[in-house]
Amino acid sequence: MIHFEWPWLFALLPLPWVLRLLLSSVDQAKDAALRVPFLDDFKSLTSKSVVEKPQKLKLWLAVVGWVLLIVAAARPQWIGEPIDIPVSGRDLMMAVDLSMSMEQEDFQFEGRLINRLQASKFVAGDFIERRVGDRIGLILFGERAYLQTPLTFDRKTVRTLLDESFLGLAGENTAIGDAIGLAVKRLRENKKTDESVENVLVLLTDGANTAGEINPLQAADLAAHEGLKVYTIGIGADELLVRSMFGTQRINPSRDLDEKTLTKIAEKTGGKYFRARNTQELTKIYSILDELEPVEHDPKQFRPQKSLFHWPASSALLMAVLVCLL
């Protein structure tokens, strides 16, 4: 349907007619500097109907142009059919570890070994795509924590920036406490505008807190006080076969993973700790998160709007050009 944003402007349609009634007409004879006595002799050379036709045409063109100008000023819009948009009422931050330990290749994807960061990108990227209705933000942390993407409904941009991240971007060590603290700060700023919004942090790491200024458990206490629920994911295989000059050895590539601290962080904030030893487990964890934090809440309707003012405005300009040419 067509909708006019300012329909009251149609009251100006009779304005030219009102002005014509209120203002006196201009007497062209008074402006003549020279009177020619025999000017009437030339009238017979020009047909009266030929003179009147352009005048009537100009009048109608001017009327049409004025109507089109008023229509354009009233801001016509085309309102489309209602579209349901799922809105979860949730602000979800993702914190991804970029320390150099994430370089360990102990995950398999499509028959080939990949490192932990690559596995995280594949699985977390699909998780982001499914979070329709959530505002999602991205924190990248290593020795320091950085806000890569503020909270946004633009899931495509968040996934792109996650895919473009690389090892060592935020330093070589791991600052888990700083990542939680930064999430609390950003979510607190956004919660001032809407107290009903649920705040969730999904933190993925493969190590222990070895850097930063904030203790992880103190950061967890702060998160709990602010109503931030933290889900922690410990990533890394328990066993890896390594060939050396002494033969094949079995090692634990996740020996530095501080599962005790990650579990306490989740418990303090009402979240949950997950352990991902391979790609399948990591995928399953994000599926569980979808169940724990459902995507769809109360759908809201959105009707797309398309402005149409340029059509009557350009047509009115065309009418004005034709009047000038005549």
pLDDT at position 295, please?
59
Average pLDDT over residues 161-173: 88
307 & 163 share domain: no
75 & 157 share domain: no
Average pLDDT over residues 216-220: 94
Nearest CA among 235, 280, 209, 202 for reference residue 104: 235
**Weakest-pLDDT range from 8-17, 56-65, 81-90, 112-121:** 81-90
For residue 165, which phi and psi values (nearest 5 degrees)? -70, 155
The separation between the first and the last C-alpha atoms of the chain, rounded to the nearest angstrom, is: 37
pLDDT at position 50, please?
54
CA-CA distance, 234 to 255, in Å (whole number)? 11
The tokens describing 102, both together, are: 């994430």
272 & 209 share domain: yes
pLDDT at position 232, please?
94
CB 82 within 8 A of CB 92: no
308 & 235 share domain: no
39 occurs within a structural domain? no
Q: Return the SS3 of 157.
A: helix
Average pLDDT over residues 231-251: 72
Confidence check: pLDDT of 246 > 70 = no
What count of Cα atoms within 13 Å lies in the side-chain half-sphere of residue 179?
35
CA-CA distance, 177 to 23, in Å (whole number)? 78
Number of folded domains that form the chain: 2
128 & 64 share domain: no
pLDDT at position 249, please?
64
Nearest CA among 111, 119, 182, 118 for reference residue 145: 182
Tell me the pLDDT tens digit for each residue of 66-101: 899 999 999 888 887 776 655 556 788 999 999 888
Tell me the pLDDT tens digit for each residue of 288-312: 888 887 655 555 666 777 888 888 8
- For the domain that residue 242 is a member of, what is the CATH number? 3.40.50.410
CB 158 within 8 A of CB 139: no
Average pLDDT over residues 112-136: 86
pLDDT at position 257, please?
85
Banded model confidence at residue 252, pLDDT cuts 50, 70, 90: low
How many separate helices (H) and strands (E) can be counted in the chain?
9, 15
Tell me the pLDDT tens digit for each residue of 254-283: 778 889 999 999 999 999 999 988 888 888
Domain residues for 53?
2-21+47-80+303-325
Which range, 62-71, 132-141, 163-172, 260-269, is most confident? 260-269
Confidence check: pLDDT of 38 > 70 = no
34 occurs within a structural domain? no
pLDDT at position 222, please?
93
CB 294 within 8 A of CB 63: no
